[in-house]
Amino acid sequence: MFVDQVKVFVKGGDGGNGVVAYRREKYVPMGGPAGGDGGKGADVIFQVEEGLRTLMDFRYQRHFKAKRGEHGMSKNQHGKAAEPMVVKVPPGTIVTDVNTGEVIADLTQHGQQKVIAKGGRGGRGNSRFATPANPAPEISENGEPGQERDIMLELKVLADVGLVGFPSVGKSTLLSVVSSAKPKIGEYHFTTIVPNLGVVETEDNRSFVMADLPGLIEGAHQGIGLGHQFLRHIERTRVIVHVIDMSALEGRDPYEDYLTINSELKEYNLRLTERPQIIVANKMDIPEAEDNLEAFKEKLQDDVPIFPISAITRQGLRDLLFTIADLIETTPEFPLDVVEEDEASKRVLYRHEKAESDFFISRDSEGAFVLTGDKIEKLFKMTNIERDESIKRFARQMRGMGIDDALRELGAKHGDIVKLLEFEFEFIE
């Protein structure tokens, strides 16, 4: 099964916890704190593996959670950092954050890597908190939580040439005779339901990758038919080969077919019109095709080269392949996302913007105050609530963030319940 789009969840490893420990040796009086730091959590790294062709594996495993770092140990021994979690993806994979829409990575080259979810840093042991005023602290940190995010993986096939056209115009047949690919061929529409790739080699030993894309129909850019699922795959191609059935055996007008397909490509992505296009007049072995080709040339107003061929008899294929190879050599790659830079965009504008709040306070149905926010939740998760000094430190951090004053402004009184994650506290004046 060909899978080219899938949503998965990734989470970097949590950092290891720091530890509270003291140096106790026979001849070392007042040895002091000796708690080591936790190790760093593992990153989730996506790596391109050229042997893969689809995202099929991600249909069965949609959650990737990396290992956490080792906890710190006594005698100031730090925990070991966890090994990165490497996930293999096929070339042409685009990774997008589901919540923000940001493109995280465009993975195209074999061996290319990108950190998708960072592991958390290790928590500090009590030796890190020693000061002249408190030489033997009982404070340690838990490891920082690893980054977690929902991502969308989208595969855009890496091919130099894309075959487009209506169903049953002979795209699969053409690919099968010019390469070693074995696409499914049949006398009915939408025989091809997945993109097929083939390596084509010309007589002068030049080679390129050709993709046979499922047939397009009118309205494909709006989701009609099968072709809309695979229009994304043509975005990477350098040359578009437009295959047209000149025999008109199905009763369609070749010129109308040409206009319809080009309109669909334009509606899907206007930048597709920048790519060089070649018209392949297929099925020229059928008697009516010559007359239809003459009528087609009279109507054609675009300056597009036309190659009459017959995929079945291999007529005209040699010149067609030479022309495609020449075009590929002179056509640059088209980046997926082009950022237009002008002089104005290079100027830096400084202005004051109100910073986003580190916390948010709301009320639940029972009247309790509910405290939320990435920063405050992260601080709490890194607090070792088994140690009184760590809890007091967290209380000071909350006061420094202005949470106490914000609760008072909202009417919080002594003894009111404050909820943070799954824990409850009492507000104390």
DSSP-assigned states of every residue in 298-311: HH--S---EEE-BT
Q: How far is CA 237 from CA 118, 210, 243, in A?
A: 33, 9, 15
Known binding residue 312? Answer is: yes
Kindly report the number of other CB atoms within 10 A of residue 43's CB atom.
Answer: 23
Known binding residue 67? Answer is: no
Give the chain's residues under pLDDT 70: 1-3, 181-194, 215-232, 270, 334-356
Known binding residue 310? Answer is: yes
* C-alpha to C-alpha distance for 117 and 119, rounded to whole angstroms: 7
Known binding residue 93? Answer is: no
Q: Which of 42, 118, 47, 112 is nearest to 84 (CA)?
A: 42
Q: Which fold has domain 163-330?
A: Rossmann fold (3.40.50)
pLDDT of 15: 96
pLDDT tens string 201-227 = 888 888 888 888 776 655 544 544 444
pLDDT of 21: 93
Known binding residue 266? Answer is: no
Known binding residue 169? Answer is: yes
Known binding residue 311? Answer is: yes
Q: How long a stretch of residues is the chain?
A: 429
Known binding residue 212? Answer is: yes
Domain 360-426: give its CATH code: 3.30.300.350
pLDDT tens string 295-322 = 888 888 888 888 898 888 888 888 989 9
Known binding residue 76? Answer is: no
Domain locations in the chain as residue ranges: 1-156, 163-330, 360-426
Known binding residue 179? Answer is: no
pLDDT of 346: 52
pLDDT of 340: 40
pLDDT of 123: 94
Q: Which of 40, 38, 32 is nearest to 138 (CA)?
A: 32
Known binding residue 13? Answer is: no
Known binding residue 167? Answer is: yes
Known binding residue 245? Answer is: no
Q: Does domain 1-156 have CATH number 2.70.210.12?
A: yes
